[in-house]
Amino acid sequence: MPDEVLHWLQPRAGGVYLDGTLGGAGHARLILEAAAESRLIGLDRDPAALANAKEVLAPYGERVSLHHRTFAEASIVLAQLGVAGLDGMLLDLGVSSHQLDTAERGFSFMKEAPLDMRMDTTTGITAAEVVNTAEADELARIFFEYGEERFSRRIARRIVEVRQATPILTTTALADLVRGAVPRGRGPARIHPATRVFQALRIHVNGELDQVRQGVVAAIDLLKPGGRLVVISFHSLEDRLVKHMFRQEAVGCICPPRLPVCVCNHRPRVQVLTRKGVRASEEEVESNPRSRSAVLRAVERCGP
């Protein structure tokens, strides 16, 4: 959503911006081009994305500094750089097209690959470890909570049965198992029966919702008055969370209604700029079908 990002972030000449999800560095480059003499701090938890961003952003020299960190750790990076505050921050959540299309990363059930799904390949547990070791109740919770999968218990039970004979190690083995566990013709016909299970495992393996919770608070802490945070979500769980957190940060008094005067002195930290989530234009959806599910929300940090 390049036009929408520029519209809501409003990068200014000489400003300091943080892209917490560099990916292919398309948005990072856009910000650097739009704002003369701006500085861009770029983060990604995926070392491969970072290596690619280093090449793409090399022409901008000293204006760019790139770090292998999660966006929840943005304050550590700013402290190391001695940067006091940001004019804007972008979080373009989820996996990149490059990650999805690289079969061996294990994000897609369309191609056979090891069941990995870690965005940061240097740390953490893989999806295979979760699928082969978690209790049936835990698997069912993951599929229900993060995938809104109505057959979560049935799929979890089937996984436990199958893995007693053979460990489930590949994307296609898991996808076939899910297809066999779900009653035919009962799920939404449009999507593969394994779609929700794969989404759920990815969210769990990467702690994605915790990252959003911590990342949004960190971002608001780090913005200068007038600075903006723009978040793009790709599924409803994430978008609901972002919307809820923005609302909470935008409220003033939180005293119980029975009190005649305010005693909490709570002040809104942000103003919500996008009353409704902003969606990709028809043209963009046509040229990039994955943008169909993208929703953008933005806030501006209130004065001191």
Q: What CA–CA distance (Å, rounded) separates 98 from 241?
A: 25
Q: Give yes or no for a contact between 69 and 43, defined as CB atoms under 8 angstroms apart.
A: yes
Q: In whole angstroms, how close is the CB of 94 to ligand SAM at the nearest point?
A: 5
Q: Give yes or no for a contact between 229 and 219, defined as CB atoms under 8 angstroms apart.
A: yes
Residue 106 within binding range of ligand SAM, rule CB under 6 A:
no
Find where tokens 């305010």 sit. Answer: 262
Of 125 and 253, nearer to ligand SAM (C-beta) is 125
Residue 4 within binding range of ligand SAM, rule CB under 6 A:
no
Quick one: which of 6, 7, 12, 24 contacts ligand SAM (CB under 6 A)? 24
Residue 31 within binding range of ligand SAM, rule CB under 6 A:
no
Residue 23 within binding range of ligand SAM, rule CB under 6 A:
yes
Q: Which of 224, 287, 215 is nearest to 246 (CA)?
A: 215
Burial class (CB in 10 A: 0-12, 13-18, 19+), 96: buried
Q: In whole angstroms, how close is the CB of 146 to ligand SAM at the nearest point?
A: 15
Instruction: Determine the angle formed by the axes of helices 208-222 and 195-205, rounding to 10 degrees.
Output: 50
SS3 279: strand
- φ, ψ at 231 (rounded to 5°): -125, 130
Quick one: which of 4, 44, 116, 249 contacts ligand SAM (CB under 6 A)? 44
Of 209 and 250, nearer to ligand SAM (C-beta) is 209
Residue 21 within binding range of ligand SAM, rule CB under 6 A:
yes
Distance (Å) of CA 292 to CA 159, 232, 288: 32, 12, 8
- φ, ψ at 290 (rounded to 5°): -65, -20
Of 154 and 213, nearer to ligand SAM (C-beta) is 213
Residue 238 within binding range of ligand SAM, rule CB under 6 A:
no
Of 49 and 182, nearer to ligand SAM (C-beta) is 49
Helix (H) or strand (E) holding 248: helix 236-250
Residue 199 within binding range of ligand SAM, rule CB under 6 A:
no
Of 24 and 268, nearer to ligand SAM (C-beta) is 24
Of 20 and 147, nearer to ligand SAM (C-beta) is 20
Residue 235 within binding range of ligand SAM, rule CB under 6 A:
no
Residues that bind ligand SAM (CB under 6 A): 20-21, 23-27, 43-46, 49, 70-71, 92, 94-96, 119, 211
